[in-house]
Structure 1
Amino acid sequence: MAPALVETTLQEAVDYSKSGTGEYKEAFIGGPKAFRSDAELKGTGKQPPAKHPNYLPTWDAEKKYPPLEPFEHYEHGKDANPSFPNLLKNAEVIDLTANIGAEVHGVQLSKLTDAGKDELALFVAQRKVVAFRDQDLADLPIQDALNFGGYFGRHHIHPTSGGPSGHPEVHLVHRGADDTTARNFFEERTNSVTWHSDVTYEQQPPGTTFLYLLDGPIAGGDTLFANQAEAYRRLSPEFQKRLHGLKASHSGVEQADNSRNRGGIVRRKPVTHIHPIVRTHPATGEKALFVNPQFTRRIIGYKKEESDFLLKFLYDHIAKGQDFQARLKWAPGTVVVWDNRVTAHSALLDWDDGQRRHLARITPQAEAPYETSFEG
């Protein structure tokens, strides 16, 4: 007897409205629809008021910015004393892993001289990500914090995020009190890992970058970092050679669409730029992979299937490389400094009890990515 035909119900297409648009997912910024001013300023039955109300996000949908113009970036890390006498004179340095990351005590970033800032740029380029504990950056006037960060490059104004009133140069990562939409996110996603380097769709993406904690859950919300230079070195010489000369497009369109879908803003028309897959750091001379699944879209000159195949290998290589990754735990007074040119990172959404997570990022832009010749 022939088997009976079984009618199969087709699954409706998923629009990922709760967890991001298609391949693009962004779980860590609530946006204007989720923002509750009273809960942030006064607290709730379960959560206290925000510790830094001057850093609460604002969104001005009417304020638009023109396209970013090219500028000449000066890399201060090239001026640094490699023995770091101004930065680390009284410091305790603890390695996070053997090849990426350090934790530093005994240094106050806001008090550094220009020579100390030069050394900071080089030290971070070498260590890739450094957590400075017991810092006062969050307690300074916002403009003072911006003045400090502006030494390292032109401030980037994020096209979709909220910023403190009067200071759009500060990118805010904010999930408010009693926000439990993490549960919605995981209705459509199995994990919150979103490896990326920041805003690589810009013509001149960021270099030395600062993120500091304003409020955070007791546990959860850690950030993962990957050493993209070590990821490049792990590849065989023949594979490295094949990657040299290849370029890929990086797109900000999906991020803008995601913001609109959430009722957010788009301050500037989204852009797409082409960058080398392998870039060179101007201060260290290191080569690093420069692709990420958040913003990289297509290898130039490759057919779609070819591009997808190679990019997927590189994404998996970076994501699975736990032996060139570090997991950073936040604590009050922490400022994390990393070099976006030679790292990738991902926040983790692993708490859903409504505790606030509120961080501020200062994002100096650097040079346009470039590639030096393959050396074998």
Structure 2
Amino acid sequence: MSTTTVTQIQQSSVPQAALKLRPQSDEQKNRDAKQSEYKYSHLLPAFDSQERYPPLTPFEHVDPGFRALKHANPRAFLENANVVELTPNLGTEVHGVDLLSLDSDGRDQLALEVARRGLLVFRDQQAFIDAGSESYLEWGRHFGRLHIHPTSGHPQGYPELHLVYKDENKSFNFERDESITTSLWHSDVSYELQPPGLTTFFLLAQPSTGGDTLFTSQVSTLRRLSPQFVAFLRTLKAVHSGVEQAEFSRSGKRGGVVRREPVEHVHPVIRRHPVTGEEALYVNRQFTRRILGLKREESETLLKFLYDHVDRSVDLQARLKWTPHTVAVWDNRITAHSAIVDYGESKERRHGARITPQAERPIPALDGLDLSA
């Protein structure tokens, strides 16, 4: 658990008599009533401009998938489930597994299966979603140290839970309004020294249509490239930056707070998964900024090619249509994803929670690659 320092805000010294209270409109009363009736109002985003976090420190991560490799049946947790592969390259939909009841062995097996398939989609998980914040933390800690996001909203008292939120009046998402598309492929907070591995996400409220999530296999996008080109990419490293995301918040958007100063870190362009040994492309349009050792035009041209390759490879992608009580679990090391913000005109609420355990520092596919700047 990370330390959080909060400075108490001084109470206003304006005499109460001097305050002129404006009567509440019927519209405002209706809105407040709806808010108080909302089942997950305790998980709405909270922001405190005085909240500050210290820099993250390195830690040793051992992936639980390693333990599952020693199990007699590493897929035993799926024995009584209905399992359907979403695509040949990525994604499995599962009915008949109660995530809340999985023991330690079952969670290890899940980690291994996610490493192999990239994405698992579990339906009918109301018990897991309704279990509450403490249960979410206990679940996430099995898979690694929980990440605390530097700018996003979190439930009051639970900074380890990252929230996405949009309704008719506001949005606390990292969105680019000036773009002609809402899709923005990324691997979560890849700018950290030790970015996330296995990640769990679910919606608490969703629009009646729209708000899907796209996933792509970065193992498969890499395999589509020629061997000679892949050999070159293995020699490269890139800077991933959290500066733009922090500046977005400092501009007053997304709650307007930056609790931890942004960081930039160098990662291999191709990384190796510690458990499966598979190699995956590891650049993303949202956070990767430049390739070290190349001139500016060379870096921009190469990154644009790779981003376009990820964007356009629809035969390597899976589209998750959310239904109530769905929980998605994916491996950020070998996938990228994008929210689809196509529901704005409906004025409906989309409220999601992410449990984000950190993993190891990305392992270069090329042994001995120097990751210093």
Normalised TM-score (structure 1): 0.85
**Does the Cα contact within 8 Å between 2:143 and 2:198 map onto a contact in 1?**
yes
Which whole-Å CA distance do the structure 2 matches of 1:73 and 1:325 have between them? Answer: 29
**Does the Cα contact within 8 Å between 2:285 and 2:307 map onto a contact in 1?**
yes
After superposition, the C-alpha distances for 1:89-115 in whole angstroms (9 at most, x for unaligned) are 211111111111111000011111111
Q: CA RMSD in A?
A: 2.2
The match for 2:38 is: 50
Q: Which of 339, 358, 365 lines up with 2:358 in the alignment?
A: 365
Q: Which of 342, 353, 361 lines up with 2:346 in the alignment?
A: 353
* 1:215-230 paired onto structure 2 within 5 Å: 215-230=205-220
**Does the Cα contact within 8 Å between 1:196 and 1:345 map onto a contact in 2?**
yes
Identical amino acids, percent of aligned pairs:
52
- Deviation of the 1:312 alpha carbon: 0.5
Which whole-Å CA distance do the structure 1 matches of 2:221 and 2:180 have between them? Answer: 25
Instruction: Answer yes or no: is 1:343 the counterpart of 2:335.
Output: yes
Instruction: Answer yes or no: is 1:144 the counterpart of 2:166.
Output: no
Which whole-Å CA distance do the structure 2 matches of 1:82 and 1:225 have between them? Answer: 31
Structure 1's unaligned 5+ residue stretches are: 1-35
Which whole-Å CA distance do the structure 2 matches of 1:355 and 1:70 have between them? Answer: 40
After superposition, the C-alpha distances for 1:278-316 in whole angstroms (9 at most, x for unaligned) are 000011100000000100001011111000000011001
**Does the Cα contact within 8 Å between 1:41 and 1:50 map onto a contact in 2?**
no
- Deviation of the 1:261 alpha carbon: 1.1
The match for 1:233 is: 223
Secondary structure class of the residue paired with 2:107: helix
Equivalent position amino acid for 1:72 in 2: E
- Deviation of the 1:180 alpha carbon: 8.8
Cα distance change, pair 353–72 in 1 and its aligned pair in 2 (3 A): same
- Deviation of the 1:189 alpha carbon: 2.5
Normalised TM-score (structure 2): 0.85
Which whole-Å CA distance do the structure 2 matches of 1:373 and 1:185 have between them? Answer: 35
**Does the Cα contact within 8 Å between 2:152 and 2:172 map onto a contact in 1?**
no
Secondary structure class of the residue paired with 1:117: helix
**Does the Cα contact within 8 Å between 1:96 and 1:326 map onto a contact in 2?**
yes
Cα distance change, pair 204–181 in 1 and its aligned pair in 2 (3 A): closer
After superposition, the C-alpha distances for 1:63-87 in whole angstroms (9 at most, x for unaligned) are 1000000000011111113843431
Equivalent position amino acid for 1:155 in 2: L
Cα distance change, pair 82–281 in 1 and its aligned pair in 2 (3 A): farther
Which whole-Å CA distance do the structure 1 matches of 2:57 and 2:348 have between them? Answer: 39
* 1:73-112 paired onto structure 2 within 5 Å: 73-80=61-68, 81=71, 83-112=73-102
**Does the Cα contact within 8 Å between 1:50 and 1:215 map onto a contact in 2?**
no
Which whole-Å CA distance do the structure 1 matches of 2:40 and 2:101 have between them? Answer: 21
Which whole-Å CA distance do the structure 1 matches of 2:52 and 2:172 have between them? Answer: 29
Which whole-Å CA distance do the structure 2 matches of 1:275 and 1:185 have between them? Answer: 25
The match for 2:59 is: 71
After superposition, the C-alpha distances for 1:344-376 in whole angstroms (9 at most, x for unaligned) are 0000011122100000000000000011338xx
The match for 2:4 is: none
Count of residues in Structure 1 that have an aligned counterpart in Structure 2: 334
Structure 1 moving runs of 4+ over 4 Å? 36-41, 177-182
* 1:131-280 paired onto structure 2 within 5 Å: 131-135=121-125, 136-179=127-170, 188-263=178-253, 264-280=256-272
**Does the Cα contact within 8 Å between 1:281 and 1:342 map onto a contact in 2?**
yes
Structure 2's unaligned 5+ residue stretches are: 1-26, 368-373
